[in-house]
Structure 1
């Protein structure tokens, strides 16, 4: 599993300008079966996406995020080898 932590490097107002295309990018990640959960950080300094898939593919996809393209956010990608899950979450094991 990959944890995609994005941090805004520009003000929230700038992020808001690209939120619609960013959310279309997120929805496409779900459609590909790569994204399992996502949301904003609290306080709103960026977001987090829980992802499965090949790291190289996910990294290439992150490069296509409008937030990345327009320099709104930077991503930190952490790979986690999940070994134990709650019932029904076996998809997290990789």
Structure 2
């Protein structure tokens, strides 16, 4: 499981790239890679939870985000191995 933190570096460029960023997010959900996407408050960036892929695949996916490619955000990828979960999230231990 991966937590991806997207921290704003150049917010001024975000509006012109928002449509591409949203398309990128949608592709991640359609491909079954992303489980969650949300805003880090207060307006500091975004956070994603991804599952079911290798770190290399996650890195390649993140590199294709227009926000990352154009320097709107910096990306930090945290690789987490769940040891304990609520029963509703047991699939994350696979």
**With structure 1 as the length reference, what TM-score do the two structures score?**
0.92
Kindly provide the CA deviation profile for residues 14-49 of structure 1, in whole angstroms up to 9, marking residues without a partner as x.
212211110110110111111011101010111000
Q: Which runs of 5+ in 1 are unaligned?
A: none
- Provide runs of 4+ in structure 1 moved above 6 Å: none
User: RMSD of the TM alignment (CA)?
Assistant: 1.1
Matches for 1:1-94 after TM superposition, within 5 Å = 1-11=1-11, 13-52=12-51, 53-94=53-94
Q: Distance in 2 between matches of 1:70 and 1:84?
A: 37
Aligned length in residues: 93
Q: Which runs of 5+ in 2 are unaligned?
A: none
Moved more, 81-90 or 46-55: 81-90
Bigger fraction of residues in helix: 2
